[in-house]
Chains A and B, each alone.
Chain A
Amino acid sequence: MRIRWGFTALAAAVLALGLAGAAYAFHSGGVAECTGCHSMHSAKAGGSFLLQGSDQSSTCLNCHQHAGDTGPSSYHISTADADMPAGVPPKQRTPGGDFGWLKKTYTMTVRGTTSTEAGATHGHNIVATDWGYAADPTNTTAPGGTFVSAQLGCQSCHDPHSANRRLNDGTYVKGGVRGVATAPIIGSGSYATSTDPAAGQAVGVYRLLRGLGDNSQGVTFNGVAIAVAPSTYNQTEATNQVRVAYGATGTNTWGNWCASCHPQMHSSGNYVHPTDEGLDSEQAANYNAYVKSGDLTGTSANSFTSLVPFMENTGDVATLKSHASNTNAYLNGPSSSDKVACLSCHRAHATGWPEMLRWNMEGEFMVYNSLYPGTDTTPTAPQFARGRLGAETQAAYYDRPVTQFASYQRVLCNKCHARD
């Protein structure tokens, strides 16, 4: 009887609270609840868009950064200053990376010369003044383009009011166009667990990323960036990797999308690494065989590493959904038609390494004498430690045990090129 009364009271309390049946994903694949970002009656005097904050990114970080995190935490993409004193790396492990790396500046002395690796080299320098994120101090425009760095914010790539959507038949259309009727967005389309839209329905595009001719801040985003992430995507990769299944079809490719701001990094004829191109049989075979430096005994069934992801040569979301995983359930490597793209080597937000690369390219060894380089672990090799503690290096590799690599592991260009 006591249990029944307790349950009844609880049910009554819940009913009284009026929470039953609601969903709280906030963005839900499109424009979110207005009051989450705009304050209609108490906005900053002289501010823009009724936003409270010195800039748009500061509004985003209001929810996407949280002080007190002890590790990777849901949708947080930046670690609070309070939680990363000197010697402590940022805590988030999202596929895009933790913007906190932008605040990690390292100083090192190699062969008698002291130098500094500025945190600003570690990622996209979003401007979020209230949060201590400032414009890129070196590149006044996007490398390979004309986008003004001082304008870079979360909203440059993500559209908080995104009306782009994927319909039931798999096509992508732009909503919010006067004179045009289209299906409503029922929820996020970013995840392996996202509901598939029924006829007359749509879901949002991956991560509310701009596309379909979006013209924002002087940049036109052509095509659509296609991908599917596991529903839990912010986790340590000490045991299980997070595999975002990136897709590519026609002009809907990731290289094309990044080229919206970085066109000269992408155009053919320039002396740059190919992107959006098939790996071809040589590179695909290397990828599948590569285990670590000196070890090419791998097989395609388990060759995937999130440190060198590739784009699958498909735009079929059902296929991508079946490949997105955070449990190592699908580790298949590429076929020769799968593609290399910008994200194969760079993370979208920030990393622990210069040029927002997924691994350290500043020396020949990622692992030295079976240790992650650090001022504490490999003090005689400061050129590989680069002013970090060994634990910081490990964090930059998303906590992987060093044993996953060779005792003298060389850079991961070799995952495709196998020269080590």
Chain B
Amino acid sequence: MRNARPTAKRMLGLAALAALVLAAGPAASQPVKAGYIYTLSSFTGSIPYNWSRVAVDPERNEVYVLYQNAVRVFNEFGMEVYQFGDDLDLGHIVDVAVDDRGDVLLLVYRESRPAIVRCNYRGQPQSEITLKGLPREFSGFGPNRMVFRRGAFYLLSPLQLKIVMADRDGSFTKGYDLFPLFELEEKDRGSVEIGGFSVDRAGNMLMTVPVLFRAFVLSPDGRLSAFGKASSAPGGFNITGGIARDSKGNFLVVDKLKGSVLVFDGKFAFLTQFARRGYKPGELIFPDDLVIDSRDRLYVTQMAKRGVSVFALEYPGGRGM
């Protein structure tokens, strides 16, 4: 009898372990699909962007596209409704985001120095946010990617391999040096850069690193996990680009070389890939970045003046949220 409880415990432990292993194994294939719906347009037709920067305003279902220092705003049907910022007065705009209040946030450079300009919905500057309290190891931080999520800025320097989090006022709250996390050698400094970057609803930072042929998820508490491998077979990475997460928790990764978007479930099991290289509707030419809105519509940037293609994810029982 004295051994009964430990045995039961062992059995329970084994069962838990088995459950864990099963849960961590490849997920059953989910019939998630993506349907091309349109390309972002004005009244004169599709706008021939090359590798633009895209942000979505989930509250108002608007889409912001930055290209050659001009920001164009599109409504939920993908039609341009407004534009601002093409006069260089604001500086060189390198990224755009929208906060929960509807303010437009511009990451700009003036004489090689970064700043965040807060604008109203018309794109009129209201105030400037300066990064404050950066620790010494982040001095010289030069971000060119910016996400505003859950009341915080997430700023990335893809080549310095550093992420800085700051509050609404620009005060430093947390920083990550990815170089040791990726365990790179010093000789690799400057040769490894982040390809895609986004932040999911839970605050996980999603990244791709093309030369590592990997995608990474950095949790708010600093845990790093990775998935993907070099392969041109379905589910493998050639050259990765943007990464985002849909409302179901799936990861979507752009593969520039394939001209495809790869879908992995929340446990990193490959589900499917869609689109391919081509000039027909729904095909892509060197896709780069990818953004997803609150209704699981994907905005994919690309080259060859193909603009921003929009896809709708479809799940069993209907489209996404």
> Chain A: residues with CB nearer than 8 A to chain B?
6, 9-10, 13-14, 16-17, 19-26, 33, 35-45, 52-54, 58-59, 62-63, 66-71, 73-75, 80-88, 129-132, 193, 231-232
**Complex: how many Å from CA A234 to CA B51?**
22
Closest to B241 in A: A62
Contacts of B224 in A (CB 8 A): 13-14, 17
Write out, one digit per residue, whether chain B residues 178-194 have a CB within 8 A of any chain A CB (1) or not (0).
00011111011011110
Judge whether B182 and A19 touch: CB under 8 Å.
yes
**A39: chain B residues within 8 A (beta carbon):** 232, 238, 257-258
Residues in A with CB closer than 8 Å to B190 are 74-75, 231-232
Question: Could you tell me the distance between the alpha carbons of A146 and B53 in the complex, rounded to whole angstroms?
Answer: 42
How far is B259's CA from A74's CA once the two chains are assembled, in angstroms? 25
Q: Which of A33, A41, A82 has the most CB of B within 10 A?
A: A82
A45 to B257, CA, bound (A): 13
Q: Which of B49, B144, B256 contacts A70 (CB 8 A)?
A: B144
Q: Tell me what chain A mostly uses at the interface: helix, strand, loop, or mixed.
A: loop
**Can you list 5 A-B pairs, Cβ within 8 angstroms, ordered by A?**
A14-B181, A21-B185, A68-B95, A82-B68, A130-B304
A14 touches B183 (CB 8 A): yes
Q: Give every chain A residue within 8 A of B112 (Cβ-Cβ).
A: 70-71
- Report the Cα distance A26→B109, complex, angstroms: 30
CA distance A22 to B145 in the complex (A): 27
B75 within 8 A of A: no
Closest Cβ neighbor of A234 among chain B residues: B190
B247 → A minimal CB distance (Å): 27
What's the least CB distance linking A69 to chain B, in Å? 7
Among residues of B, the one whose C-beta sits closest to the C-beta of A37 is B257
Known: A35-B232, A67-B52, A130-B285. 10 other contacts (CB 8 A): A36-B230, A67-B289, A67-B301, A70-B94, A81-B51, A82-B51, A82-B66, A84-B68, A85-B69, A85-B86
Q: How far is the CA of A87 from the CA of B31 in the complex (A)?
A: 48
Give the residue of B213, B226, B257, B260 whose beta carbon is less than 8 angstroms from that of A17. B226
Contact B232 A40 (CB under 8 A): yes
Q: Interface residue tally of chain B, by bracket?
A: 35 or more
Digitize B234-274: 1 where CB-to-A-CB distance is under 8 Å, 0 elsewhere: 10111100000000000000001111100000000000000
Q: Which residues of B contact A6 (CB under 8 A)?
A: 222
- Nearest to A88 among chain B residues (CB) is B92
Q: Which residues of B contact A33 (CB under 8 A)?
A: 213, 230
Chain A residue contacts of B191, Cβ below 8 A: 24-26, 74-75
Contact of B185 among A9, A23, A63, A73 (CB under 8 A): A23
A84 to B225, CA, bound (A): 36
| Complex: A44 Cα to B192 Cα, angstroms | 27
Does A80 lie within 8 Å of B213, measured CB to CB?
no
**B88 / chain A contacts, CB cutoff of 8 Å:** 85, 87-88
Cα(A276)–Cα(B259), bound, Å: 45
Query: Is B211 close to A, CB under 8 A?
Result: yes
Residues of B within 8 A of A10 (CB): 181, 222
C-beta contact mask, B272-289 vs A, less than 8 Å → 1, else 0?
Answer: 000011100000011011
CB distance from B101 to the nearest CB of A (A): 25
**Which of A58, A69, A82 is in CB contact (< 8 Å) with B67?**
A82
Closest to A20 in B: B183
- B257/A129 in contact, CB under 8 A: no
List the A side residues contacting B289 at CB < 8 Å.
67
Q: Does the CB pair A13–B144 fall under 8 Å?
A: no
- How far, in whole Å, are A231 and B92 apart by their CA atoms in the complex? 28
Report A-chain residues with C-beta under 8 Å of the C-beta of B114.
Answer: 70
Given contacts A80-B51, A85-B86, contact A68 B94 (CB under 8 A): yes
Residues in B with CB closer than 8 Å to A59 are 257
**Bound Cα distance A67, B94 (Å):** 9
Cα A380 to Cα B285 in complex, Å, equals 45
- 51-79 of chain B: CB within 8 A of chain A: 51-53, 66-70
Q: Evaluate whether A35 and B68 lie within 8 angstroms (CB atoms) in the complex, with A13-B224, A67-B51, A131-B303 already known.
A: no
A132 CB contacts on chain B under 8 angstroms: 50, 304-305
Q: In the bound complex, what is the Cα–Cα distance between A353 and B231 (angstroms)? A: 42
Q: When A13-B224, A68-B95, A85-B69 are in contact, do A62 and B213 touch as well, CB less than 8 Å?
A: no
Contact yes or no, B51 A70, CB < 8 A: no
On whether the beta carbons of B193 and A62 are closer than 8 Å, the reply is: no
A82–B52 contact, CB under 8 A? yes
In the assembled complex, the CB of B109 is this many whole angstroms from the nearest CB of chain A, namely 5
Q: A70 near B109 (CB under 8 angstroms)?
A: yes
B193, B231, B233: the one contacting A74 at CB < 8 Å is B193
Known: A70-B144, A82-B68, A87-B88. A62 touches B185 (CB 8 A): no
Q: Is the CB of A36 within 8 A of B239?
A: yes
A13 / chain B contacts, CB cutoff of 8 Å: 181, 223-225
A10-B181, A80-B51, A82-B52 as given contacts; A35 in contact with B238, CB under 8 Å? yes
Contact A52–B231 (Cβ < 8 Å):
no
Contact B68 A19 (CB under 8 A): no
B159 touches A (CB below 8 Å): yes
Return the chain A residue nearest B209 by Cβ: A24
* 3 closest Cβ pairs, A-B complex: A85-B68, A67-B51, A39-B232
A58's nearest neighbour on chain B, judged by CB, is B286
Q: How far is the CB of B290 from chain A (nearest CB, A)?
A: 13
With the chains together, A87 CA to B192 CA distance in Å?
30
How many angstroms from the CA of A83 to the CA of B86 in the assembled complex? 12
Assembly CA distance A79 to B200 (angstroms): 29
A73 / chain B contacts, CB cutoff of 8 Å: 159, 193
Contact B257 A52 (CB under 8 A): yes
User: Which residues from A are CB-within-8-Å of B214?
Assistant: 17
Distance between B255 CB and nearest chain A CB, rounded to angstroms: 8
Which residues of the other chain, A, contact B307 by a CB distance below 8 angstroms? Answer: none
Residues of chain A within 8 A (CB-CB) of B184 are: 19, 24
CB-CB nearest in chain B for A47: B277
How far, in whole Å, are A398 and B186 apart by their CA atoms in the complex? Answer: 27
Q: How far is the CA of A214 from the CA of B13 in the complex (A)?
A: 64
CA distance A263 to B256 in the complex (A): 38
